[in-house]
Structure 1
């Protein structure tokens, strides 16, 4: 069965472009379109699409209001938000992702429509593939199966829901920094996990969330309002301090380096993308391994692709503790799966246990 998609946008141009893009993606069929959220809700109930693209800003009922109503009515449909590269657009998108939207895309603004088409096709193709995989996992879980962390489907039970790849209790030194990498599903996962970290964690946290410029600042502001720790978008040259979470700016690379006074500072660069990502998790993790050696904790959470795997490998080679989110609680089980299968993960834990595992690594005697 093909994936049924409903396209919702207040401009006929983008409804046409998005419909044409989906027509080029295998296993997808566009079942309809709508020019505002009110019309979209009626068509969701009648057409029963699997996936809806929601424009953030629309008349009568905007994308966020529509998503809230979808949740209220308990409609079984995935949502990809279509946003603009503006502060308002990014703030609304953050809220939508926290409410459970699968992912988001930004509207390209090239002079030629063909360029807009090709950019959207490049972005939407992998997201649709990831969403199809998510539907497979959800279907398996509904049938009584659970997804193992090797990506296979089988029945199993566990007491504490934390899976350890090797014994780490013999470690006698505590971590002095926590590094986190996350992508698709990240804003929702982070808004669940980070507030579980205590305000007296005692170490800094550096974090890469795959996002474009503007969006990372909105993410930091949203998380800061929820967390006991301070959360901010990282700035060039600032000294990293305990009990602060530094989020890499979108569209830039972030690493940590030793400053002139031996203090550790943030370095923001315009170095090339890695794994098609900028910021990239691997880029950050390598710098953490260089500066902190074994006294670090690396965490990979929900997301597409394999960014973070090589970085965790470097961290682990120095003796750092590594943690990955489990298959069942990931929105997209890509980045954690890659790291686990590469054998560079010490602890595999569900979303609601990750903070607890992080705390254990920084509170060791």
Structure 2
């Protein structure tokens, strides 16, 4: 059932439960072009065997005997440069804190593992669906490049290497074979809001961008949807508030939106902005997932477009899938501006690639320069150079 000419994505399972290892292996064996090449029941065995296994993706448990996942992570990343590590652990506050630390240390993404005995078949089905989706998405990012297929990230204008939107993953396919993206002119109106959407690789990208803008965001509210479960979004809000120097964090329903504050959508809830008289408020709901996600970026971007029109500045950061592309078009059509993270600096160029392919963006910008580019568009000048008049 495998396409002979397609590259196999090599997966390593690091998980102390033999039952879960067997179950995940059987799921992935049923996925085209995905091959489980190694498994280990603790971090030490993983470290001893990872170089020979040459995986593109490591599914890494946190709590294991002998050596836990967090302790093993730096060695695994060092042994396989470019490998994508998917943290899989049960959702508790402690594990969320450890997993966020792992993401800050270089893990690509997180997957909440149900308690299989307690949570039943529906939880197992959802876990399987999410696991397969994330493995397929990360695998289409060109993999780790350990066996002569892809050795370096694609340059920003190379169509294809990081585009994680295969039909098999249930997302809109990004047109391949063309890097001729239609760009929009930037709005001539000074932005009154900065709104950001992100997914896989997003926490690190958000930290970089907001850290670069520290002290320069007092004039706008900063509103963020990052695909993450509850508890994680609480921790992310605290981290981004500290890095940006802004008050706020994870938001709540009915909160007033004001300049100089940060608002992070809570896991499990879509976030929109609504206008009530002269005030703009946060509106949360737990309606059905949109683009496989809750929170989703599209409803936030669409609501921002309606309220702020040409004074909206949207940013689409790294992430698999195409969430945010339709909302980015709405912002652009209303006269606002949208920036996308470029392909070379994205963990997965799904969401920003989709926004570019939709013709919604002013530019695709390298992560290193994105903070300064946002600062220039906010009319604040660069952190390094003052804006020239």
TM-score (norm 2): 0.83
Bigger CA drift: 344-353 or 16-25? 16-25
Report the secondary structure of 2:107's partner residue: coil
Match of 2:155 among 146, 156, 176: 146
User: 1:296 and 2:305 equivalent?
Assistant: no
Equivalence for 2:84: 78
Distance 1:284 1:94 in 2: 24
Match of 1:258 among 247, 270, 275: 275
Distance 2:143 2:200 in 1: 17
Contact 2:9 2:143 in 1 (8 A): no
Aligned length: 353
Deviations 1:239-271 (Å, cap 9, x if unpaired)?
1222222110011011111235x2111111122
Bigger CA drift: 266-275 or 175-184? 266-275
Equivalence for 2:114: 108
Summarize the alignment of residues 1-150 of structure 1 with structure 2, pairs less than 5 Å apart: 1-71=7-77, 77-110=83-116, 111=118, 115=122, 117-135=124-142, 142=151, 146-148=155-157, 150=159
CA shift, 1:336, in A, is 1.1
Distance 1:148 1:70 in 2: 30
Contact 1:199 1:243 in 2 (8 A): no
Change (3 A) 1:332 1:98: same
Equivalence for 1:179: 195
Equivalence for 2:371: 355
Match of 1:221 among 238, 241, 248: 238
Change (3 A) 1:338 1:316: same
Distance 1:308 1:210 in 2: 11
Contact 2:153 2:344 in 1 (8 A): no
User: 1:165 and 2:183 equivalent?
Assistant: yes
Distance 1:241 1:119 in 2: 37
Distance 1:358 1:284 in 2: 19
Report the secondary structure of 2:310's partner residue: coil
Report the secondary structure of 1:20's partner residue: helix
CA shift, 1:113, in A, is 6.6
CA shift, 1:166, in A, is 4.2
Equivalence for 1:272: 288
Structure 2: gaps spanning 5 or more residues: 1-6, 163-180, 381-388
Contact 1:180 1:299 in 2 (8 A): yes
Distance 1:276 1:219 in 2: 21
Change (3 A) 1:59 1:2: same
CA shift, 1:26, in A, is 1.7
Report the secondary structure of 1:330's partner residue: coil
Distance 1:29 1:95 in 2: 28
TM-score (norm 1): 0.88
Structure 1: gaps spanning 5 or more residues: 154-162
CA shift, 1:120, in A, is 3.2
Distance 1:144 1:282 in 2: 28
Contact 2:82 2:144 in 1 (8 A): no
Report the secondary structure of 2:103's partner residue: helix
Change (3 A) 1:240 1:143: closer
Distance 1:164 1:22 in 2: 37
